[in-house]
Structure 1
């Protein structure tokens, strides 16, 4: 084979181009690969989360709530102010402000070591 043809991919480097549709598809694929895949909770774990949420709401306890969004896992420490069963969300007040979290996004509810606002728990 002629030495001028043994250039690897350099032979076609000058004629490469990418269509805008291809750029969009590559960006979408990269974004999808970074998506957070939450673990699936079984019925007993869901009942335990429900029990802890009800107890923390009734006693005004400080809790650590683990939840996820589209791309990552988050934890927030605060007090459950409201449980909205119709919209399936809970309202958490913390030092950073007020946050609504969907029931479907919850992964963990633990009672915090420190006291947030109340003395009982």
Structure 2
């Protein structure tokens, strides 16, 4: 059996991708990325209380802490600084480090050290 130019010594899956529309490639890339999405672990009430105490202590005593933030794709993020403000309505804290600050949502916090 004679092979044509498209199949000669190659994988048909990749040959087919040569004729894919950009929208289809984008959809395939999105699907592949979503397959790698992690789900945030649920924290027990006791863990949430401990985290809240540590955040409050950082604010009252102006001590540095390190916060582990959940990331759906890739490695979790660590942020270090001092808590300077609580926004109860928006459920977030203001974490200052050196000359910069960042607002962090409570829902992103996994642990505090």
* Residue 42 in structure 1 maps to residue 41 in structure 2: no
Partner residue, 2:53: 51
Q: TM-score, normalised by structure 1?
A: 0.72
* Residue 88 in structure 1 maps to residue 91 in structure 2: yes
CA distance in 2, matches of 1:95, 1:60: 13
Deviating 4+ runs (over 6 angstroms): none
Partner residue, 1:119: none
Q: Which sections of structure 2, spanning at least 5 residues, go unmatched?
A: none
Partner residue, 1:4: 2
Q: Which has the larger radius of gyration?
A: 1
Question: CA, structure 1 residues 43+100, in 2 after alignment: closer, same or farther (shift >3 Å)?
Answer: same
CA contact (8 A) 2:68 2:78 kept: yes
Q: Which sections of structure 1, spanning at least 5 residues, go unmatched?
A: 111-121
Q: TM-score, normalised by structure 2?
A: 0.77
Shift of 1:70: 4.1
CA distance in 2, matches of 1:30, 1:94: 36
RMSD: 2.5
Shift of 1:96: 6.4
